[in-house]
Amino acid sequence: MATAPLPSETGLRPQQCGVTLVELMVAMVIGLVLVLAASAAFLAGKQLFNTDAEVQATQDSLRFARYIVQSVVRQAGYADYAPDRLADGIGVIASNANLLAGSIDPRDLNIAGATNTTVSRTDDSFGVNDTDTRNQNDSLMVRFFGRSTANADTPDNTMIDCLGHPQKGPAAIPSAADRAWSFFYVALASDGEPELYCKYATEAGKFTAEPLARGVEKFKVVYGYDGNGDSVPEAWLDAKGIAAKAQAAGGPINAEWRKAVAVRIGIVVRSARPAGDLKQVSGHDYRLYPLGEEFGSSVYFDPPDDGRFRSTATFTLMLRNVARDPT
C-alpha cells in the first residue's frame, strides 16, 4: 500500500494549523476596541434620540399651552351683540356694560389674577397675592359670555372655556351667572411634576380643574395699564401693582383692573427627564426670563441644576373687548 510522501520529501512547507498566543491577544484587543466603539456609538445615538424626544415633547407642550391661553384670553369680555334668538342685542350690551361698571366683585371682571399665588381647585377664586412665595407662579381668570344657536339651550361652538367645552349664550335678560369661567394656574401633580391647570365651571355650577400641559414650571402674567384712557398702556403691572394703584387711589380695585388693556404672559416648560448639563454647555448660569429680559430685574428664574431642558414662550395680547363706563 502506497503512503503519502512526507513534507520533507516533497520540499513543501507544512501548512499552519493554529495561531500563536501573541496573535490571539492582538486579535482580541482589536475586537474589543471595535465592540467598545460600536457600543459608544450606540449609546451616543440613543442619548441623542432621547434628548431630541425630550426637546420635542417640551416644545409641543409649550406650543399647546400657549395656544390654549391665547385663544381664551382673546375671548375676555365677549358679548354677543346680535344674538340669533333676540330681536336685538341691546339687552346683552347693557348687561355687559352694567356688570363691568357696577360690580365691585373682582370675579365679575373680564380678566383678573393674582401674583405668586396658589389656587383652589373647587371654588371660583383666583387666589391671593403672595400666598406662594416659593414657586412664585401667577394665576389668570378670564370671563366672557357664550353664544348659542337659535335654540337657546344649544351652544354654537364658537365660544369655549379653557378645556374646550362650548359655552351657550346668556338668558334673555343676561346676568353675571351666564358668563363662562376659565382659570389658569400652576400646581403639582400627584407625582410632583408641575402642570398648567384649567379650572372651569361644570353644567351643575360646580368648579373643577384639569391639567392642560405637563411640565409647566413658570406661569407669569403682567397687565398693560392704561391710566389715561387712550387704550395704550403706559406701564406693565402685575396683580400686586394693580392692587397698589387701587390702594393709592382709595377706590375699588375693580376700577383699576378695568384699565388693563393688554396682557403679557410668560411660560416656562421643562422636560420630564434630564437632557444634559446645560450650565456646562452655556458656560454660565442658566437664567431664564419668562416675560422677557426687559423684566429681568424683577422677574427671572434660576432653574435648579437638574439637567432638564427648558423652553420659554413670551407673548402679548391686546384685550379686544374692553368695556368703558356707559356714561
Would you state the pLDDT for residue 284? 46
The answer to whether the CB of 92 falls within 8 A of the CB of 83 is yes
Q: Which stretches of 257-297 are assigned E, i.e. beta strand? A: 260-274
Q: Judging by beta carbons within 10 Å of its beta carbon (0-12, 13-18, 19+), is residue 48 exposed, middle or buried?
A: exposed
Which amino acid appears at position 26 of this protein?
V
Which of 277, 266, 269, 259 has its CA nearest to residue 319? 259
- Phi, psi angles (nearest 5°) of residue 319: -80, 120
Q: Is the pTM of this model over 0.85?
A: no
The answer to whether the CB of 92 falls within 8 A of the CB of 80 is yes
Distance CA 197, CA 218 (A): 12
- Phi, psi angles (nearest 5°) of residue 13: -75, 145
Coil/strand/helix, residue 295: helix
Q: What residues contact residue 300 under an 8 Å CB cut-off, 6+ apart?
A: 287, 288, 289, 290
Would you state the pLDDT for residue 86? 54
Spell out the domain ranges in the chain.
49-318
pLDDT along the chain (327 residues), means of 10: 58 64 84 86 74 83 95 90 57 58 82 96 94 92 89 84 91 80 95 95 91 95 92 93 93 91 95 66 67 79 86 92 54
Distance CA 319, CA 251 (A): 23
Would you state the pLDDT for residue 10? 57
Which one-letter DSSP state was computed for residue 15?
Answer: P
CA distances from 235 to 202, 224, 231, 238, 264 (A): 36, 6, 12, 10, 11
Would you state the pLDDT for residue 283? 42
